[in-house]
Amino acid sequence: MNYEFLKVDVDQHGICTLMLNRPDVRNALNDRVVTELRDAVKKIGANDSIRVLVLTGAGSAFCAGGDFRWMTAMKQQTREERVAGGLELAHLFVDLEQLTMPIVGRINGDAFGGGTGLTSICDYAFGSRNGKMSVSEVRIGLVPANIAPYLVRRMGLRNAKATMLNGVPLEMDEAVAVGLLNEAVNPEELDDAVENQIAKYLRASPVAIAATKKLIEFVSKTPWDQTQDYTANCIADAWETEDAIEGMNAFFEKRKANWWIER
C-alpha cells in the first residue's frame, strides 16, 4: 500500500501499523488524507492475515484535527459539497468501526478534533504524556459532528458534555479519567505498552475476537431484553468454528492453540 500521506506496514506476525504521515502539519486531516485512509482501511479489512491494527502518527503529534487550509476552503463550497465531505469522514469512522481485528491506538502526541475521534475508535488506546487531547471544535465556532457518536459512546454522556462543550485541552491522565484513553504512559514507555497489548491479542483466536467485536457492537445498541436470540445463536455459531475445536483441544492437551504467537 503506497500513499502520499500514510505509511502502512504489516509485519511477519500480522501486525499492521497505519501511520498518519504529515508531520509538517502535525498529521492534520484533509480530504486527500480521508480518501487515503478509507482506501487503506478497506484493504486492511480484506486482508485475513492481519491480526492487530496499530493506529499512530508520524513525528511529535498524533493528529491535530482538520487542516485549516482544508477547512478554510470549505467556506467557498456549497452546502451540498460540505455535506458530501462530511459524509466521507463519517464513512471513514464506520469503516474503522467495522474492522474485525483489534485496533490499538498509539497516541504519540497531541490529538485534537478529528484526532480524538480516531482515538475513540480504538479498542485500546495509549496516550503519550508528552501530548494533550482536546475536542476543540467549539473554540473555533464549529461542532464535533462526525466524531460525536464515537466520543459519546466512549466517554458516556456526563464526560462527553464536560469535554465537548468547552474544548479545553486535557493532559493525557485527564483523558484517561474521562474515558478517551485506556492508559497514559511516559513517552519512553509507549512502544513497550503497545507491544504488551499486542501480545495479549496474539494469544486469542482471531475468529473469536472478530465475533466478540460484533457481539459487543450489537449488545451496546440493543435493549437487553432483545438480545437473547442473537446471543444464543452467537454462542451456537462459535461452537461450530474450527477455532473452538482447536481451542478446546489445546486446553485439554495443555498446549498453546495454533493461533498463539509469542512476540
pLDDT digits 0-9 by tens, 44-69: 999 999 999 999 999 999 999 988 78
pLDDT at 85: 86
> Do 236 and 110 sit in the same domain of this protein?
no
> Do 154 and 215 sit in the same domain of this protein?
no
Domains held by the chain: number: 2
pLDDT digits (tens, 9 = 90+) for 162-186: 999 999 999 999 999 999 999 999 9
pLDDT digits (tens, 9 = 90+) for 76-135: 889 998 898 889 999 999 999 999 999 999 999 999 999 999 999 999 999 999 999 999
Whether the predicted pLDDT of 72 surpasses 90 = no
pLDDT at 262: 92
Whether the predicted pLDDT of 71 surpasses 80 = no
pLDDT at 206: 97
pLDDT digits (tens, 9 = 90+) for 180-203: 999 999 999 999 999 999 999 999
Instruction: Over range 215-234, report the average pLDDT.
Output: 95
> Is 165 among the domain residues?
yes
- Pairing status of strand 15-20 against strand 6-10: antiparallel
Burial 12-47 (b: 16+ CB within 10 A, else e): eebbbbbbbbbeebbbbbbeebbebbbebbeebbee
Residue 70 vs residue 245, higher pLDDT: 245
pLDDT at 118: 97
> Is 261 among the domain residues?
no
Is 40:1 a contact under the CB 8 Å cutoff?
A: yes
pLDDT at 155: 97
pTM equals 0.95
> Do 187 and 245 sit in the same domain of this protein?
no
Q: Tell me which of 180, 201, 222 is where a domain ends.
A: 201
> Do 215 and 125 sit in the same domain of this protein?
no
> Is 238 among the domain residues?
yes
pLDDT at 201: 98
Expressed as residue numbers, the domain containing 229 is 206-252
Whether the predicted pLDDT of 251 surpasses 90 = yes
